Amino acid sequence: MEALRLLHVADVHLDTPFYGRDESLRRKLRNACREAFKGAVDAAIERDVHVFLIAGDLFDNELLSFTTERFLLAEMRRLQNARIPVFYATGNHDPGRANYRAQKLEWPSNVHLFTSTTPETVPIVDHKGQQIGWLTAAGHSSTREGNNLAARYKKAKTDLPHVAMLHTQVVNARGADQHERYAPCTEEDLRLPGYDYWALGHVHLRQRVFEDLPAWYAGNLQGRNPKETGLKGALYVEVSKRGLIEPEFIPLSPLVWDHVELACPENACTSTELTTELAARLRQEIDLDDGREHLVRLTLTGESSLADEINKPENLQDLEETVQDETDIAWLEIRPRSLLRPVDMESFIGSPTVLGKTLELLERLPTDDELLDRITPKDLAHSNTEDMRHYLRELVNNMDRKAASLLVPEQKR
């Protein structure tokens, strides 16, 4: 018997509002989410999968626009025309209770919704009508499902490949702490029933949750903010009773968020030199010719003779715009982090200047407990002494550079 072929997507979040972004970027991100989902449907049709799985949060219930509703139903009909069934388990953003949108949409006949918190098992059949597998899934009926739904799944059938699907926070998964604790479960909950594959949603970081357990988060199709970096997409999976073939990641995100940290070019003495150098380094760090648009958060560290100018909001905005123009990056945000003006501190050590005395004090602090206790704020004096000392030592670490930059006047260039 041929392997069961499936495409696993989750957390599409169609029509996310992207508050806090300008209208141009918001429109670009919303379009990217739709384009990524269309790409997932294309991939399912091209690979002639037996089933298209959606593990929750396809859209945000109260935000689904008429335009996106029509788009979504049209994509489902494309899968219907290709004779591909869609199994869709609702999540916390698109819950399945009767008064929510997931239940009210006029889905084509190939779409099977799992909206109940009680798991349901259905057969998977091929184009000839022959059963080739089983699928068990449960959905979120409300926006705040606090129960462990995975613990309700019964033991898997053994005659054919058996797949499970759920929108859940696996408590030990990487990135789980970035999401609400909805339908939480543990490794043991996923291991006991013996399913051949778990198609999971809710955590946006693509991963195999446990090394020896066939449970995968597909991640979201399109990164939604600077924390969701890198390519996003779907998982193509082949599973049989002989075992699971390693899922194949299909990159689908038209927009890619990147976070780059660079030491500010020390040799740049003018804005033109700084722009040219930063643009060149960004091209080295990011493949800007990969056919996708990039949204970049650039963190600048280290020392620069231009540090004081860079830290001014109007200059920072100008730097962002000029580097963006030179690289054709779709969006660029530059964040100076501890970016300081260089100072020859050696010449101040032991001197009677304010900086000299400050450097002497900073050198003593890490090893002088009495001095640490003296500078402890009065409102924190009741805290654990050793913990407070450790905190203060960490706080003064590398503070000598900051003090020098603040206490020594900028020399005119």
CA dist 375 and 411 (Å) reads 32
Rounded average pLDDT over 348-369 = 74
**Poorest-confidence range of 60-74, 94-108, 240-254, 384-398?**
384-398
Rounded average pLDDT over 212-232 = 96
The answer to whether residue 413 scores a pLDDT higher than 50 is no
pLDDT band at residue 368 under the 50/70/90 scheme: confident
Q: Which amino acid is at 119?
A: P
Say which residue, 210 or 403, is predicted with more confidence.
Answer: 210
**Poorest-confidence range of 33-47, 102-116, 198-212, 236-250?**
236-250
Lookup: tokens for 67: 């335009």
Share of the chain above pLDDT 70, in %: 92
Share of the chain above pLDDT 90, in %: 74
Rounded average pLDDT over 192-216 = 96
The answer to whether residue 210 scores a pLDDT higher than 80 is yes
Three-class secondary structure of residue 151 per DSSP: helix
pLDDT band at residue 399 under the 50/70/90 scheme: low
Which DSSP helix (H) or strand (E) runs through 131? strand 131-137
The answer to whether residue 308 scores a pLDDT higher than 50 is yes
CA atoms lying within 13 Å on the CB side of residue 348: 19
pLDDT band at residue 345 under the 50/70/90 scheme: low
Say which residue, 98 or 363, is predicted with more confidence.
Answer: 98
Q: Which amino acid is at 261?
A: E
pLDDT band at residue 402 under the 50/70/90 scheme: low
Rounded average pLDDT over 252-267 = 95
The runs of H, that is alpha helices, within 108-218 are 187-191
Q: Which CATH superfamily is domain 4-251 in?
A: Metallo-dependent phosphatases (3.60.21.10)
Nearby residues of 266 by Cβ (< 8 Å), 6 or more positions away? 302, 303, 304, 305, 342
- pTM recorded for the entire structure: 0.85
Nearby residues of 363 by Cβ (< 8 Å), 6 or more positions away? 400
Domain locations in the chain? 4-251, 259-336, 345-407
pLDDT at 343: 66
pLDDT at 409: 64
Rounded average pLDDT over 297-321 = 94
Q: What is the mean pLDDT of the chain?
A: 91
Q: 185-197, pLDDT tens digit by residue?
A: 999 999 999 999 9
Q: 23-42, pLDDT tens digit by residue?
A: 999 999 999 999 999 999 99
Nearby residues of 81 by Cβ (< 8 Å), 6 or more positions away? none
pLDDT at 407: 67
Name the residue among 336, 332, 351, 284 with its Cα closest to residue 306: 336
pLDDT at 374: 78
pLDDT at 412: 45
Rounded average pLDDT over 68-80 = 98
